[in-house]
Amino acid sequence: MEENILTTLKLLIIGESGVGKSSLLLRFTDDNFDPEQTLTIGVDFKTKRMDVDGSAIKLAIWDTAGQERFRTLTPSYYRDAQGAILVYDVSSAASFSKLGNWLNELETYSTKSNIVKMIVGNKIDVENREVSREDGLKFARRHQTLFIEASAKTKDGVQSAFEELVHKIIQTPGLWDS
Ligand code: GDP
Ligand code: MG
C-alpha cells in the first residue's frame, strides 16, 4: 500500500561541543545511549518518520559531525532548515552563555526567516547543575523559542523536544507547505 508522506522536514541540532547533541539524536532515532560514543566523528544526518494527525512526516535531522568545534559549519548545513534544536548542558554555564552566538548563527545563515527554534537544556540527570530551569526558560521566552529540559541518558524530554518542534513547524503557515 502506498504511504501518505505529508512532507520531509529538515531539522538541525546546534550548540557547543560536548553538550550532548549527537546523544540526543541517537536517543531520539535509535532509543539508545552510548557513553563511549564517537558519533561526533562523521555523522551527517539521520532520518526518522513521525506520525502527525494520521500522516507520516519524514524528518531529516542534521548533526554537526564535530564541525562546531572549529566554527566551520557551512551555509549548506543551515540551508532550507525548517527547525533548529539549540542545545546547552545544564551542568555547564559556559555552554548556556554561548546560546546567543548560536542564535546569531541561525539569524545569519537560515534561509527561512520563520525557522522554528527549540532550546534544550540537556543532562538534567547530572548532580552538579549550573543553570537553573528558570534561567533557561527566561532566555527562551526572551528570544521567543520553545524550551524543554532533557536527558539523553535517561530519555527525559527527548521525544517531547522533537515532537513539540515538529508540531510548531506544521502549525506555521508557509514554512513547510510552499
Ligand atoms: P556533542 O558534542 O554535543 O555531540 O555531545 P555528545 O553527544 O558527543 O556527548 C558528549 C558527552 O556527554 C558524551 O560523553 C555523552 O555520553 C555525554 N552525554 C550526552 N548527553 C548526556 C546526558 O543527558 N546525561 C549525561 N550524564 N551525559 C550525557
Ligand atoms: Mg556530536
Phi, psi of 169 (to 5 degrees): -60, -45
Mutate to test the pocket of ligand 1, among 23, 120, 127 (most ligand atoms within 8 A of CB): 23
What are the angstrom distances between the C-alpha of 123 and each of 28, 42, 55, 79, 173?
15, 23, 32, 29, 33
Whether 68 and 55 have beta carbons less than 8 Å apart is answered as no
Distance 113 CA to ligand 2 centre (A): 26
Its pTM stands at 0.94
pLDDT in tens, the chain (178 residues): 556 778 999 999 999 999 999 999 999 998 888 877 655 555 578 899 998 878 899 999 998 876 676 666 778 889 999 999 999 999 999 999 999 999 999 999 999 999 999 999 999 999 999 999 999 999 999 999 999 999 999 999 999 999 999 999 999 988 988 6
ipTM value for the complex: 0.99
Q: What is the pLDDT of residue 104?
A: 95
Q: What is the pLDDT of residue 52?
A: 82
